[in-house]
Structure 1
Amino acid sequence: MSDFRLKAFYSVAKNLSFTKASQELFVSQPAVTRHVHELESMYQVRLFDRKGNTISLTEAGRVLMEHCERILVEYRKLEYDMHQLNNECAGELRLGASTTISRYVLPPVLARFTERYPKINVSLIDMNSRHIENALQENSIDVGMVEGVFRVPNLRYEPFLCDELVPVACCSGKWNVPEELSLEEFVRMPLVLRERGSGTLDAIEMALSEKGLKLSSLNVRMYLGSTESIKSFLRYSDCMGIVSVFAVDRELRSGEFRVVDVDGLRFKRHFCFVSAQGQEADTALNFIQFVKDMVKNV
């Protein structure tokens, strides 16, 4: 129903790239260029300034961008409401989830959700918590699911699932890590942790601060960009990692990894929905309720 020319323009304007827009929309770059040219011809304006390989919005482009954000939101609402008249849920749902949630929590949820609502077109991007918050502010996604403990003031956070981060070691390591460590012993242990900006590292730093410790107090050998990278690293090293218990469920049950208890130190957090205040799409609200019901029944 919506004018694809507006979608094409909005994607180019948001990414400041015709190439990225074509990848995001799954159409050819010449097709994106043609749609933008049609808008420029219709309004008799230039929407982008081109300098070499870079582009920027003109004044007309900025005006159209402001209207596009509102129009595309209304198009999604219209599609949802019209299908609701026939007791159908349809429309577009753009999700963003931090890595731990997207890989270890969401797969069974999305499988059931898309089975129940086959006419809702779901897309998911996998980024760390800080990038998810940025995507919401840029209107690139409808709702995010994050694991961080820091909060952006103009966004709404709603916990939906409790998670625990656990120190783990590989059982086949060269040296035997004790099953329990004192806080002093833990500080000396070589660690591999998630990168800056990840919700996992935020939660670790908060738990440490409650014990009067800083991240710099730890013996961190390496920061890695994903939990899977940490798990792979642990298989070839004698370091410990700190990861979500959801991420190592299979390895713990198989006996490949084991949890190491640290006296007096617990890393707990909540996975949260995050959305723009008062701007939640109907499909997003429907998804949020679906997840709440599913978690409640687990």
Structure 2
Amino acid sequence: MNYQDWEMLATLYSTENITQAAQRLFLSQPTLTSRIKKLEDYYDIQIIMRKRRGVTFTPEGEKLAEHAINMLKEQRKIEEKLHNIGGKVAGTLRVGVSNFFALNKMPKLLRLFKQEYPNVEFQVVSGWSSEMHRLILNNDVHISFIKGDYPWKEQKELLYEENICIASPWDFEWATLPSLPRIDYYTDERMKNLVDIWWYNNYKQSPNINIQVNQVETCKEMVINGLGYAILADLVVRPHPELITKPLYNHLGDPVTRKTWMYYYEDSLKLNIVHAFVSFIRTLDVKKL
């Protein structure tokens, strides 16, 4: 097997879907299927089996995919060591980013960093904070930008803290909130628990959720268009002064907040590219970007 085979197997193993794997690899589906067949013929094994939706790996295929993943990791380590020689800042920085941070902060950060270090490339994965936590735990990324507190014994730095608030297109009294239409959005479990704890500490009734969307940005647009209120972080709605926003407070009278952190391993600072990026982030007021 060569590098392309490793990459193909690793991608297919993670997606379990030929269409998605082909899209990620910029290949046609017939090309991907043909390359799998050639590997099966070479090793005289069956690598994948079709299922109703997607594919599953045979035991032999799993062994081959695990080997491919390990080989890709070794290749990456070698490339990082080579780029680290001579103190130059070059190579590929792998970053995991929570969804809001990816949309509102990351493009500016990468542009500014690229201006200072033009020989750096980026591999960015975005998703819920829980997913970004898993990526850094598995060493799949150098750095993760994560909202909320997750178990972590390595290095982390607080970037900013923001209030959780009610954002509404109209003024309201707190007592009337359970009867008003609420727009909710899918988020990670920690944010959901934070909001649910506050709600049931203050109200006996369940919220009147009449719209459920996938993204916080879609939720915000629904609020802007007068379809209901939402509970979200204040940075999301700060650019919209026309909305009524009121911060949440817990039973002790303290504001309900959510922190955004940068997670990384101490050992990863030995890589010039990681050391340069962490040092760069420390010079910025990320919240104001």
TM-score, normalised on structure 1?
Answer: 0.75
* Amino acid aligned to 2:234: V
2:82 is the counterpart of 1:91: no
Task: Find out whether 1:291 has 2:277 as its counterpart.
Answer: no
Unpaired runs of 5+ residues, structure 2, are none
Could you tell me how far 1:274 is from its partner in structure 2?
4.9
Distance change (3 Å), C-alpha of 1:134 and 1:261: closer
Which amino acid in structure 1 is aligned with residue 61 of structure 2?
Answer: G
Give a deviation string over 1:64-115, Cα, whole Å, max 9, x none: 2222232212211211221221433333334332222111222211221233
Which ranges in structure 1 are unaligned for 5 or more consecutive residues?
none
CA distance in 1, matches of 2:74, 2:270: 9
Cα distance in 2 for residues equivalent to 1:275 and 1:84: 18
Counterpart-to-counterpart distance in 1, 2:16 and 2:76: 23
Tell me, in whole angstroms, the C-alpha distance in 1 between the residues paired with 2:286 and 2:224.
35
- C-alpha contact (below 8 Å) 1:145/1:274 kept by paired residues: yes
Aligned to 1:271: 260
2:238 alignment counterpart? 249
1:195 equivalent to 2:186? Answer yes
Q: Which amino acid aligns with 1:164?
A: N
* Letter paired with 1:294: L
Instruction: Please state if 1:4 is matched with 2:4.
Output: yes
Q: Which residue of 2 aligns with 1:120?
A: 120
C-alpha contact 2:164 2:231 (8 A) present in aligned 1: yes
Q: Look up the SS of the partner of 1:294 in the other structure.
A: coil
- Provide the rounded CA distance (Å) in 1 between the counterparts of 2:53 and 2:208: 44
**Residue 259 of structure 1 pairs with residue 245 of structure 2:** yes
User: How far did residue 286 of structure 1 move?
Assistant: 5.3
Partner of 1:204: 195
Matched, 1:218 2:207: yes
Q: Within 5 A, what are the aligned runs for 1:25-40?
A: 25-40=25-40
Shift of 1:185: 4.6
Asked if the contact 2:159–2:262 (Cα under 8 Å) also holds between the matched residues in 1, the reply is yes
Deviations 1:192-217 (Å, cap 9, x if unpaired)?
Answer: 232253654343235446xx347964
Residue 216 (structure 2) aligns with: 227
SS at match of 1:93: strand
CA contact (8 A) 2:6 2:69 kept: no
Q: Which residue of 1 aligns with 2:47?
A: 47
Cα distance, 1:8 vs structure 2: 0.9
CA contact (8 A) 2:105 2:286 kept: no
Distance 1:29 1:259, change over 3 A: same
Distance change >3 Å, CA 89–CA 147, structure 1 → 2: same
The 1:296–1:24 alpha-carbon spacing in structure 2 relative to 1, beyond 3 Å, is closer
Q: RMSD across aligned C-alpha pairs, in angstroms?
A: 3.7
Quote the Cα distance in structure 2 between the aligned partners of 1:124 and 1:188.
41
Deviations 1:133-155 (A, max 9, x none): 45567776554323245x46899
Alpha-carbon distance in 1 for matches of 2:180, 2:225: 16
Counterpart secondary structure, 2:188: coil
Q: Using the alignment, how far apart are the partners of 1:249 and 1:73 within structure 2?
A: 41
> 2: CA distance between counterparts of 1:194 and 1:53?
27
